Amino acid sequence: MAKALLKFHLHVEPTISQYQIFPAKIQSSRKTQNQEPRTKHHISRSSTTSVNRRKFKRIDDSVSPIKKLVSYVDSGCLEAALQLFETMNKSSTFVWNVIIRGLVDSQLFEEAIEFYCKMRFEGIKADNFTFPFLIKACAGVFGLKEGQRVHSIIIKLGLDVDIYICNALIAMYGKVGCIEDSEKIFEFMPVRDLVSWNSMISAYVSAGDGWSSLMCFKEMRKFGAECDRFSYIGALGACAVDRCLLSGKEIFCQVLRHGLEVDSMIQSSIIDMLGKCGEVDYAERFCNGISQKNVVVWNAMIGVFSLNDKSLKSIGCLERMQHDDNVIPDAITLINVLPSCSKLGALKPGKAIHGYAIRKGYSRHLVLETALVDMYGKCGNVKLAEHVFFNTKERNLVSWNAMIAAYMQNSKERKAINMFHCLQLEPCVVPDETTFSTILAAYAEVALPKEGKQIHCLVYKLGISLGTFISNAMIHMYAKCGDLEAARKVFDTMLSKDVVSWNTIIMAYAIHGFGSYCSKLFSSMIKEGNQPNESTFFSLLSACRDIDEGLKYFESMKRDYGLNPGIEHYGCVLDMLGCSGDLDHAKGFIDEMPLTPTPRIWGSLLTASRHHKNIEMAEIAANHIFSLDNDNTGCYILLSNLYAEVGRWDDVENIKRLMTERGCKRTTGCSIVEVSGKTYVFRNNDRSHTETTIIYEVLDMLLRKIGEDLYVYNVSKFKPPDLIQRRANSPMCHSVRLAVCFGLIGTTIGKPVIIRKNIRICEDCHSAVKKISKITNREIVVGDSKIYHRFKNGWCSCGDYW
């Protein structure tokens, strides 16, 4: 067996690098209040150690230093133990084992590993009592490489047949996700005890393989091993992982037969299993039937409510545990309840929990700090999220992911990208699937196709599997960056597609104006057995331009799939009615809606009214928008332009005054184009570019060919006396046109020119780009704040309605 394991670990370095510098003092770390005691199977091997634990309850000056050290560690006085350790003779392996055990028990895993390295540096040999603690420390820091190195040392010393060491290795490999290594160690063990079986069952649960864990549990019983509380806890955890309610109930019955239902850890495992299987009411009844609930049971119930979107009940549990049972919340309690504050957007209770954590000394708990970052981000307070994150002493990947997500949730994509770049500089943190999925969304919003492709390459470089989750993010990124072909390529190469995958590709074609293709995709989705949801129909309705087809899908939602249309679905139908020009029908549709119309609904009617030059209907829509005190600047501008086109200049001035009173500021338009791997930003009348002269020469030439020049444009929007003054702001100088010209100059002939604009493209530029695409025989893609316009041969995919 030793040779087999040695062969399996040939790639592992044989030793751990020795530390030559070690801090003189380590701060003590106290256990969480009311935390369940941890069993230490491997310590019970030494009868002498067990006797010492029972015997030395009180410490006085007559007791030997070694016995004092053991008593300090057993009583949790780690700081006193460390001070005593510095004054002791350190030639005994037993002394080092005791202090390493104390550090591990206090969850100071990195310090325990450092002590082991110092122990080796000073020439003290480790024994079979040292390695179980050391392996547990490696598991605590998720140190796979460190654990493998320790494993190689164990093989060299011939200790790989020690049952206690093997049990620790099984648990360690399972915790770091190397379940195959756990299986190999378990398979080659010459002798197995109950701890071996329990370790393997828990390893499968840690790896997220509930089915294998249950099979191991059943196999253990076939071999005649008597189950204990840890066996049932592991099996219940397996049922929770795989949502196996029936198996969970069977194990619950076995617990009852063995009389273990009064064990608080088993009680919490049962509650957790029922909650993850969706049986919230059953879990609540079981919890209420427990006469004396401790903090572990309450934590489980709070977690169940949070997991099943019963946020108010989760917060109510926090109050009940303190008032009804006088149970003091611990760090895990706060971690479990913070997601409920996030879902409710309850910033005030979240701040109160943060203050409580600081008062109780829990604020340095890494998982709690991460939960606080997540909560503040979802509640819209980025500054407090930053404060918690940047004051965290130790950050792991989950912390970084939470901060990046907080920026994304608050539309701070640039900061999210900068944070991702900072993460890449961290030596011990490697981005994972969650990181890439979040950051790809950031690149999609800021329209940086080059950087998005680099992220795609980085995923391959790091060997991260292109699973469904990250592939969906890539489809979205490519679609929002204007590269529909790349988005479709990712979709076609996916091995497993879920409903989000289909929704994303349907929406990709919808925003690019290919409505007919969206219907084909929807049919393929149904044929492959995927059940559509509300997002599917939103994507479909967004793509529809034919009112009959759109109404067919709208009615199918409720009739065929039992889905209630939301306000966004009504908005899509309204867009279709507006496109068809049937404004009276559109107004009647709004009046008959079962939902209260939002500014988005009235904005759709306003857009349609402006497109069809119906000033009366536009005023009706605008009055509703103004009555809602909405600060949508686009609505004000649409109405102002419509008034200008019909010559109602007094109303134009009134709109401007109203915008000023309500603090509405017109967004400065800009267009982004990527040439030769570099991103360039253009604004109206921009002359800051090094190629400005060439850009304007090409622009002048193109505009003359399409029938425009410096002084010819749609003048109906302006008073005659203002024409000369406004000539500098003519559509000829708009950012879209400048970006298109630069793209035509700098990109290869035949390739599409892709532009991203932060506001809607104006009618003048839309008309001009259509003509430019025809005379240059180039496809030009312009993504504005609403959709992507694909201009080709003088035609636009939007059908001239946006």
pLDDT of residue 631: 62
What is the enclosing helix (H) or strand (E) of 795? strand 795-796
Domains (range + CATH), the chain: 473-662 (1.25.40.10), 670-709+730-796 (no CATH)
- Residue 743's nearest CA partner among 682, 797, 652 is 682
| Strand duo 795-796 + 780-783: pairing | unpaired
Q: Distance of CA 176 to CAs 123, 138, 181, 515, Å?
A: 30, 9, 10, 47
Reported as half-sphere exposure (CB side, CA atoms, 13 A), residue 314 has a value of 29
What is the enclosing helix (H) or strand (E) of 783? strand 780-783
Give the whole-angstrom CA distance, residue 105 versus residue 74.
Answer: 9
pLDDT of residue 608: 87
pLDDT of residue 517: 87
SS3 (DSSP) at 374: helix
| Low pLDDT (below 50) residues in the chain | 1-62, 710-715, 717, 723-729
- Residue 63's nearest CA partner among 40, 75, 43 is 75
pLDDT of residue 164: 92
Give the whole-angstrom CA distance, residue 378 versus residue 357.
Answer: 19
pLDDT of residue 21: 31
Give the whole-angstrom CA distance, residue 439 versus residue 458.
Answer: 12
pLDDT of residue 747: 87
What letter would DSSP give residue 673?
Answer: E
Beta strands in 220-357 (DSSP E): none
Give the whole-angstrom CA distance, residue 273 versus residue 270.
Answer: 5
Hey, what's the torsion of the CAs at 555, 559, 560, 566, to 10 degrees? Answer: 60
Hey, what's the torsion of the CAs at 542, 547, 550, 551, to 10 degrees? Answer: 140
- Residue 436's nearest CA partner among 410, 412, 414, 456 is 456
Residues in CB range of 478: below 8 A, 6 or more apart: 449, 452, 484, 486, 487, 490, 508
Give the whole-angstrom CA distance, residue 116 versus residue 110.
Answer: 10
Give the whole-angstrom CA distance, residue 413 versus residue 397.
Answer: 19
Judge residue 38's burial from the number of C-beta atoms within 10 Å of its C-beta, 0-12 exposed, 13-18 middle, 19 or more buried. Answer: exposed
Give the whole-angstrom CA distance, residue 705 versus residue 771.
Answer: 9
Could you give the angle at the alpha carbon of 272 between the alpha carbons of 358 and 212, nearest 5°?
120
In tens, the pLDDT along 738-763 reads 999 999 998 888 888 989 888 888 88
Give the whole-angstrom CA distance, residue 566 versus residue 368.
Answer: 36
For tokens 């795609």, what's the residue?
456
- Residue 614's nearest CA partner among 582, 592, 655 is 582
Query: Whole-structure pTM over 0.85, yes or no?
Result: no
pLDDT of residue 361: 86
pLDDT of residue 377: 95
Enumerate long-range contacts of 694-697, CB under 8 Å, 24 or more apart: 694/745, 695/738, 695/741, 695/742, 695/745, 696/741
For tokens 């919490």, what's the residue?
268
Contact at 8 Å (CB) between 270 and 286? yes
Residues in CB range of 343: below 8 A, 6 or more apart: 306, 309, 311, 378
The partner residues of 672 in beta bridges, in order of sequence, read: 681, 756
Neighbours of 566 (CB within 10 A): 14
pLDDT of residue 212: 92
Neighbours of 751 (CB within 10 A): 10
